[in-house]
Chains A and B, each alone.
Chain A
Amino acid sequence: EAGVTQFPSHSVIEKGQTVTLRCDPISGHDNLYWYRRVMGKEIKFLLHFVKESKQDESGMPNNRFLAERTGGTYSTLKVQPAELEDSGVYFCASSQDRGNTEAFFGQGTRLTVV
C-alpha cells in the first residue's frame, strides 16, 4: 500500500512567485492535514480536511495560503505570492479515523523562497 506522497520534494522560487504543493493521502483516509516546519523550529499545524471540507484552518498563516481538496482525494496548498518567511518544509499527513489517532506523514516538500 502506498504511503502519503508529496510533490515536489523540493521547490525554489523567487519572492512574489506562486507555488503549489500537492499531497496524495493514503487511499481511504478521510482526514488530511498540512503542517509546516520552519528551520530548527517545531512542526506547526496549518489545517485539517475531513474529506473535502475544511475542519480546522486555524493554523493558516494568512490569506496568501490557499488549501483545497476537491473530491476528497488529493490536496493542494498554494502560496501566492510567496514571501521569504514562507520557506520551510511542508508536511502532509493523513489518517483514517478522527480523534487522537496517529497520522501518517509524507516525506515533505522543502520550499525555499529567495
Chain B
Amino acid sequence: DQQVKQNSPSLSVQEGRISILNCDYTNSMFDYFLWYKKYPAEGPTFLISISSIKDKNEDGRFTVFLNKSAKHLSLHIVPSQPGDSAVYFCAASDFGTDKLIFGTGTRLQVFP
C-alpha cells in the first residue's frame, strides 16, 4: 500500500510557463512534506518543504501548497526553466519518526 502517490509519471511544460506537480497521501499522521529533485545518475536533492501547520511555503520560483483536508500537496514552479527538467519526488514523514515516505516521482521536461 503506497502512502504517498504521484499519479502523473511525466509532465511536459514550455519554458516560461507554470509547472504544477501533484502529490496525494493517505496517512493522516504525516505532518511534514518535502519535495526533492533528481537528475540522472545523481541522488535526490532537497528543494522545498512544508509543515502541516501551514498551507503554503514559497522559495523563489518554487511554491508548495498543502491541502490537509484533501490530503493533497502540489509544487508550483514559475516560470519553468529548461534546467528544471528532472524527476521530482514528493516525500512525507510523521513527527516522531525520521524516515521519509516517497512517491514514485514525476518526470518534468521543460522545453524551449
Contact = CB atoms under 8 A, between A and B. Distances in A.
Nearest to A91: B43
A87 interface: no
B95 A102 contact: no
Contact of A91 (B31, B44, B93, B103): B44
B11 interface: no
B66 interface: no
Interface of A: 4, 6, 31, 33, 35, 40-45, 48, 55-56, 58-59, 91, 93, 95, 98-100, 102-108
Contact of B46 (A59, A91, A100, A104): A104
Contacts, number: 66
Nearest to A43: B102
A55 B43 contact: no
18 contacts: A33-B100, A42-B2, A42-B89, A45-B100, A55-B98, A58-B99, A91-B44, A95-B98, A100-B95, A102-B46, A103-B46, A104-B46, A105-B43, A106-B43, A107-B41, A107-B42, A108-B41, A108-B42
Nearest to A10: B41
Given A102-B34, A102-B49, A48 B99 contact: yes
Contact of A45 (B49, B101, B103): B101
B104 A40 contact: yes
Contact of B105 (A42, A59, A98): A42
B104 A33 contact: no
A80 to B, nearest CB: 24
